[in-house]
Amino acid sequence: MSRIRVFAVIAASAAALAAGFSPAAAGALASSGAGACATTARTLTGTLADGATYEIQVPANWNCTLFLYSHGYVTPGSPNPAQDVGDQVTGGWLLSHGYALAGSSYATTGWAIQQALPDQISTLDAFDQQVGTPSRTIAWGHSLGGIITAGLIQNYPNRFSAALPMCGVLAGGVATWNTALDSEFAFQQLIDPSVQVVNITNPTANLTGAEQAAAAAQATAQGKARLALAAALGDTPGWFTPLSPEPAANDYATQESNQFRWETRVDFPFVFALRAELEVRAGGNPSWNTGVNYFRQLAKSPDFAEVAALYRAAGLSLRSDLATLNSAARISAVPAAVGYLAQNISFNGRISVPVLTMHTTGDGLVVPENEQAYASVVDQVGRDRLLRQIFVSRAGHCAFTPAETITAAQTLLRRLATGRWDDGTLQPGSLNAAATALGPDFNIFPGGSGVVATSPAFVNYRPAPYPRPFDLLGRH
């Protein structure tokens, strides 16, 4: 599956890190930790009992706070090194301000949550043994690392002080793959009947066939309308390139073109190929669409107006196509596989530490509606006082600048220091001002052959309801 592409988080250049840190950043968190833990600066690596590797970085001025980083999805067959930070610019800032970093590789690749959760705890144990027990441990991570972060504080609440899941799969595993199935199912029924949506026997060939069928569909007005419908059932946004302007609300042609790029360049490898890896782990297909009403599913999608307009322009009956989906033979899940995926992992909302989530509004791999799903289950059990969510107005998956990430970390650290959320500082204007104050070395984003100056873009945003929610409270 070497041709399967997976979006990566920011990899800022070493030159940007070497440029130093702005004066404004130097005193940003003067009271963020005690000096009693100061030690010798060092980098530690090792191997855990199950073969996973870990990396630990400790600064000489360690302030007793540790950030445990959970990395994102690694395609099977790809290199899988230990990672203790998402980008080196952010990592350099944290180390220079006294924070230690740690993270593991996980023992396996793919949907590796079953291995990631204990491996991250074993990494904490290694830190305790070799460095000392932190006074505060903050779980954080990107993408699949976001769901792992939320899983860590759910399964091991006594090991953590706070959490920062970024662009995380916070609807949980069952909901994520059910929503993906809805999009796959529409694609199969309306565009390519030969594609396998579950029980995939030849992932590479299945992906190739889906890509070819999508390219052919994109060449006709009717095909574009049906591709838009499939995308809308997963709430795929119509915004793709991170530093591009967001298309106008009624620019449906551009929105559909961007959805096509999301689907064929990013999402298809997961739903038409990498699903097979999950099915092997789970012992069968963990997704179902029995009982789903596709009229209702589309009606609650933020992309409904786009789909309706493109169907009208193509001279197609949207009602007829939705009726086709509703009358098609449905897919049932293997109960034991559902159980596996619920365990690895879905959420009960019973958070016991402060949690700050961050998401881009134009994320087509892990859609921002994941935040609504997580907030809903937290609210249901009355823990909403511990949760805050912030959004960045930008296309892309995990498309944050170092300044935005550092600002989020500062916000969470302030919550720990004061014992309460300062909701004034959580407003976009305050967040953008704090990120700007970090200076030009941190307000950057990859562009072309290097990095480009990029202004912070925190925004007020309310995500739509998650399309196919599933949680451990029994709501699905």
- What DSSP assignment string belongs to 272-313? IIIHHHHHHHHTS-----TT--HHHHHHTSTTHHHHHHHHHH
Neighbours of 292 (CB within 10 A): 19
CATH of domain 14-171+345-459: 3.40.50.1820
pLDDT score, position 30: 34
- Residues above pLDDT 90, as percent of the chain: 90
Residue 285: band (very low, low, confident or very high) from pLDDT cuts 50, 70, 90: very high
Q: Is the pLDDT of residue 1 over 50?
A: no
- Name the helix (H) or strand (E) containing 45: strand 42-47
Please state the length of the chain: 476
* pLDDT, tens digit (0-9, with 9 covering 90-100), for 153-211: 999 999 999 999 999 999 999 999 999 999 999 999 999 999 999 999 999 999 999 99
pLDDT score, position 347: 98
Of residues 402, 331, 391, the one with CA closest to residue 410: 402
- Measure the CA–CA gap between 261 and 330, rounded to whole angstroms: 28
pLDDT score, position 24: 33
- Which pair of structure tokens corresponds to residue 448? 């072309």
Chain centre distance of CA 55: 22
* pLDDT, tens digit (0-9, with 9 covering 90-100), for 94-132: 999 999 999 999 999 999 999 999 999 999 999 999 999
The average pLDDT across 86-93 equals 97
pLDDT score, position 172: 98
pLDDT score, position 476: 85
375-413 burial code (b ≥16 CB/10 A, e <16): bbbbeeeebeebbbbbbbbbbbbbbbbbbbbbbbbbbbb
Give the global pTM.
0.93
Q: How far is CA 2 from CA 6, 79, 184, in A?
A: 10, 11, 22
* pLDDT, tens digit (0-9, with 9 covering 90-100), for 140-150: 999 999 999 99
Ranges of each domain in the chain: 14-171+345-459, 173-336
